[in-house]
Each structure stands twice: as C-alpha cells, then as structure tokens.
C-alpha cells in the first residue's frame, strides 16, 4: 500500500484542511503504516479506495477515523516537569489573585479559575494539572480554596484518545513516565494490573472533542491555556490562526503555555507579552488598551 506521489499529496491536503496537520514530504511511510489498518477494517484494497471514500462519501465517522489514525498522541504525566512545578509554586497564586480581583469587579461571568488543556490526548496533561492544583491546595490549607474553585477542560481532535482519557486507566509504564511515587499513592488506585485515576482528580476535568481549526467561539473566559506540543504539527498560517483563536478564548491577563520547541507567530507580538516563571516561558494576553498601544 505504498502511496503514489499523487495519493500522498491528496492525503496531505485532506489532513491540512480538516485537522491542520502538516505532513512533510518525508512522511509517506506514516500514511502507509497508519492507514493500512483503517483500510483493512473497511475492506478497502488500496489507498486509492481510501481516498475515494474520503472525497466522495459524506461519511463523517470514516473521516474521523482517518484523522484519528494520522494524529500523534504522544504525551506523559507532568511532561517536562517544570511547567507543573511552576504551576504549583507561582502560576496558581497568580491565578488566585486574578480570581480575587475578578470578584471585586462587576460583569465578569466566570466565578472559577478556568484552565484549558487544548491537546489533552489520552488525559495525562489535564489530570496532571488537576493533581498540581490538589498538591497546591493541600500545601496551602489556609487559603480556604478548594477544588471547586477550579474547572479544567481537556479537548482533543481524537475521539479514540478521549475515550482512553475518560476511562482514566493507565499502565505501569505510563504512570512511571512523570508521576512521583507520592502522586501515584495519592491520586491513583491499582486495579487488575492497571492504575485508575481517583474520582477527586477525574471530577475536576471535563473532556470534550474539539477541533481547534473549527469555530470555538463558545470556548471563552479562560485564565490559563496549555497548548503544548500541538503547534509544531501545523504550518505557519495555521499556527497564526490557532493562536488568534486561543487569544480570543483567554481573559485579559490570561496565560498561554506552549511546548518547549514552540513559539508564537511574530504577528502575535501585539496580542501577547512573553514572561518567565523560572524555566517556564508563558505568554500573557494583553488588555485591549495595551494591544492598541503595541
């Protein structure tokens, strides 16, 4: 099922238009290895038949299955560690002060700190955020804050990945990639050879299927957005469009965290200001007044 150049390009166009995924010219092997199982499940004998079904039939579930197969779901708990360390030590106190300030003003409709994990994959990132919050609350009981003051949204384009996230079941290998022994003991239980996310962590996270290339105007009022290791799969124009949407989803002074190898498009300089929390680089959404000055 080696793709011809024409077949590869048609798949590339389909993925770019529907998911923003930008396949480089050396990724033909991915098309072959990841779409062969899809073709077998649907009794399709060639990549040409896969493409024909994508282009000629209004079959949303098949299109989603192809996108699902081509999406990379690499993730781990507390990935890169320092963003979650900074979340506990410096970012959460900043967000809490933001909420206190919000409560003193009228007309602000969101009474909780709202956090969005854009590429939640199989759940490790939003659950890591929840664990970091619970760690912080346990270490700072005098604040009077509880988990009810926080809402975490985890989204992904892959329904298969989200099903795994909702199940909250992980192997020893997945747990050992990033979780400390203390977190494992506090936030997970072992059952039939797997580790289960505890209800108090799970209840802090709402998981939804979202394609950030589509209309996301209903996703607004966030104080912190994790969009880590997603933009690297997009071309420059798609990066710009996604960052514009994320900016609209953030409250003024809200924070955007990207992956270590990612950067904002240069045209975002008037929307965000870069700041550092220890080793973690974040981008603060400027107020409308400051954007005009920029």
**Per-residue pLDDT at 31:** 92
Within the chain, strands assigned E span: 113-117, 150-156, 169-170, 188-191, 194-197, 205-209, 222-227, 250-258, 272-277, 280-285
| Best mean pLDDT range from 21-25, 110-114, 130-134 | 130-134
Average pLDDT over residues 265-275: 83
pLDDT of residue 110: 61
Q: Per-residue pLDDT tens for 15-69? A: 999 898 898 888 899 999 999 999 999 999 999 999 999 988 777 889 889 998 9
User: What is the Cα–Cα distance from 172 to 164, expressed in whole angstroms?
Assistant: 15
- Could you tell me the pLDDT band of residue 102, with boundaries at 50, 70 and 90? confident
Candidates 129, 177, 132; CA nearest to 153 is 129
- pLDDT per position as a tens digit, 218-227: 899 999 999 9
Nearest in space to 264 (alpha carbons), one of 278, 244, 292, 287: 244
Report pLDDT digits (tens) over 194-207: 999 999 999 999 99
pTM (predicted TM-score)? 0.91
pLDDT value at position 292?
Answer: 46
**Domains of the chain by range and CATH?**
5-70 (1.10.155.10), 82-293 (3.40.50.150)
């Amino acid at each position: 099922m080696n793709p011809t150049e024409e077949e590869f390009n048609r798949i590339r166009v389909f993925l770019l238009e529907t998911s923003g995924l930008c396949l480089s010219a050396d990724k033909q092997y991915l098309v072959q290895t990841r779409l062969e199982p899809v073709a077998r499940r649907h009794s399709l004998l060639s990549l040409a038949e896969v493409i024909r079904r994508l282009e000629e039939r209004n079959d949303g579930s098949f299109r989603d299955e192809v996108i699902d197969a081509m999406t990379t779901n690499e993730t781990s708990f507390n990935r890169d560690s320092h963003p979650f360390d900074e979340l506990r030590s410096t970012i959460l106190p900043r967000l809490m002060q933001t909420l206190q300030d919000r409560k003193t003003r009228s007309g602000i409709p969101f009474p909780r700190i709202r956090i969005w994990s854009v590429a939640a994959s199989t759940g490790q990132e939003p659950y890591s955020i929840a664990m970091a919050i619970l760690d912080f609350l346990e270490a700072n009981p005098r604040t009077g804050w509880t988990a009810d003051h926080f809402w975490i949204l985890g989204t992904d384009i892959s329904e298969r990945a989200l099903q795994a996230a909702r199940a909250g079941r992980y192997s020893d290998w997945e747990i050992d990639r990033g979780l400390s022994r203390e977190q494992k003991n506090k936030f997970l239980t072992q059952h039939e050879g797997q580790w289960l996310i505890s209800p108090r962590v799970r209840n802090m996270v709402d998981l939804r299927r979202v394609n950030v290339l589509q209309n996301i105007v209903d996703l607004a009022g966030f104080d912190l957005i994790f969009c880590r290791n997603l933009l690297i799969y997009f071309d420059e124009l798609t990066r710009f469009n996604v960052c514009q949407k994320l900016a609209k989803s953030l409250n003024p002074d809200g924070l955007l965290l990207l992956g270590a190898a990612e950067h904002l498009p240069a045209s975002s300089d008037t929307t965000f200001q870069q700041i550092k929390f220890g080793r973690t680089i974040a981008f603060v959404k400027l107020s409308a007044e400051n954007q005009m000055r920029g």
